Amino acid sequence: MVTGSDALDRIVKRLAETTDPRRRYEYVLWLAKKLEPLPEEFRQDVFKVRGCVSQVHVVGQLHDGRLHWQGDSDAQITKGLLALLIEGLEGLTPEAVVGLDPAFIAATGLQASLTPSRANGFLNILRMMQSQAAALQAPA
């Protein structure tokens, strides 16, 4: 699978090659632990992901035409899924994030291990990131 992001491609490949669902979860939890703490000023409603059972905040900021992401969640698995997207989409242009096909989520194999609400939350986090990226795109 080629997403347009080398980092995301590496993550998807790693997860796709892992046949044990427990190992996939361990990787997602490891990503959660690596996520930098979210500054308090970003814990606002405007950055909150709708449609997630857990509290999830994600913030995209544009620096020199590239997106830089921060976020947090109060649930470790959701935080790991957020961290996966943050790592995978870090440094991309807004156009690349907006154009990202969510099909890569299925390629990770995570859906089989996630509850329907978590799988839906994962997609909602991606959609929120794409929405922020669209708002930061240069006017056409």
Active site residue 52: yes
Interacting residues of 51 by C-beta distance below 8 A, sequence separation 6+: 120, 121, 124
3-class SS of residue 10: helix
Q: Which of these is catalytic: 52, 56, 77, 129?
A: 52
Q: Distance between CA atoms of 73 and 78, rounded to whole angstroms?
A: 6
* Residue keyed to tokens 């154009």: 99
Nearest to 7 by CA among 92, 131, 67, 68: 92
Positions marked active-site:
52
